[in-house]
Amino acid sequence: MTTDVPPLRVALIAGARPNFMKAAPILAELERRGRFRVALVHTGQHYDAQMSDSFFADLGIREPDVHLGAGSGTHAEQTSRVMVAFEGYLRDAPTDLVIVVGDVNSTLACSVVAAKAGVPVAHVEAGLRSFDRGMPEEINRLVTDALTDVALTTSPDADEHLRAEGHPPETIHLVGNTMIDTLLRFRDLAADIGPLVALGIEPGRYLLVTLHRPSNVDDPDNLLRILAALAAAPLPVVFPIHPRTRSVAERAGAGDLLGRLNAIPPQGYLAFLRLQTHARLVLTDSGGVQEETTVLGVPCLTFRENTERPVTISDGTNTLIGADPAAILPAIAVALRDTEGVHRVPPLWDGHAAERIADVLERWAAARAQS
Ligand code: UD1
Ligand code: UDP
């Protein structure tokens, strides 16, 4: 960007747990360069201290400039609350570019509002597809990408999907993975096993579990079957439990099972990274955890029928095991036998994705200033 280009006024959106670790390095890099004026917008989709504030503390993210206070609700309730509040924000705050990350309802809501207000949208993690419209996130990805002016992607398959959907190639930029920028920044801090030992957790000898996809946890009978299978696993389980999952489990009377599975509150970023780093095996339905275990080299069983992150299977340590509770124990047995998996870190998952994003946006702003 030449010096006569005024700073780009950016609204960076974050609202739910997996947004914070993706947004943190982008915020830091854009502010470091001084050519962007960034407003950090917290939508309030997640609001418990353990689902939001703890990430600001662990990752050193500054206070948001604005908090939209959306909270929980049905999809329409939550999405519309973000939309109304963000529309009001954009009306009062002249903005050149809205940056959204990931695939949550906040991502969709702010993209739609920006596009209708005539403000260009940059989407970080564009182009991922599970091809499963039963997943709310797939709808969010499709709508967001349809409105995206600058597509910032984590893997070549995402570029292919966007090209196949008609996105001009010059709008697609393979930049790498900002969630992995954050992981690599904090990885050394998580190596310390002291806090695990203090909790009575034996490094390398436990199964770390996270579950929160509606298709797995919203039906109480299905969730009970999953928890019962996990309780029969041949190694101790540690289960940081998402609030959505805890409320269904408690209503289903799963208190005993939760005790046997060492269910603990959602963990802060560093504590959870430590739990991933030293796990023998991870079982999850999280998108981000599939990526993080790939970089950490920890075997991961993904309890879903599909993934929008196939590079974690082709390159990484991830195995899809389907979503039948009966598949859990056989898959664990196989994973514990196979100790020799070959894996590599996907290209550009190297800790420098946010720098590439800032480069792309500087070029985009310069081209726009000339047009
Ligand atoms: C959301 C995202 C999902 C993402 C997940 C990460 C959508 C459609 N879903 O799912 O893609 O993988 O976040 O964690 O955007 N709750 C609390 N405290 C909180 C937040 C939520 O108790 O701070 C409870 C509420 O009962 C709420 C439920 O969790 O109704 C679900 O929250 P919501 O944000 O709607 O969806 P998630 O399941 O968290
Ligand atoms: N995570 C965390 N504490 C937990 C569970 C997950 O810090 O108790 C982190 C995890 O390391 C990753 C992100 O949250 O960085 C993934 O978010 P989540 O699984 O909620 O959402 P998804 O990636 O499935 O959208």
How far does the centroid of ligand 1 lie from the alpha carbon of residue 251, in Å? 17
Cβ neighbour number for residue 124 with a 10 Å cutoff: 28
Q: Please say whether the beta carbons of 327 and 225 come within 8 A.
A: no
| pTM for the whole structure | 0.98
| Structure confidence by residue, pLDDT tens digits, 195-244 | 898 888 899 999 999 999 999 999 999 999 999 999 999 999 999 999 99
CA atoms within 13 Å, Cβ hemisphere of 128: 29
Cβ neighbour number for residue 85 with a 10 Å cutoff: 20
Q: How many helices (H) and strands (E) does the chain have?
A: 17, 13
The ligand 1 atom at the shortest distance from the C-alpha of residue 52 is: 23
Q: How confident is the model at residue 4 (pLDDT cuts 50, 70, 90)?
A: low
| Structure confidence by residue, pLDDT tens digits, 75-107 | 999 999 999 999 999 999 999 999 999 999 999
Where in the sequence numbering do the catalytic residues fall?
A: 212
Q: Any idea which ligand is nearest the CA of 289?
A: 2
Asked if residue 292 has its Cβ within 6 Å of ligand 2, the reply is yes
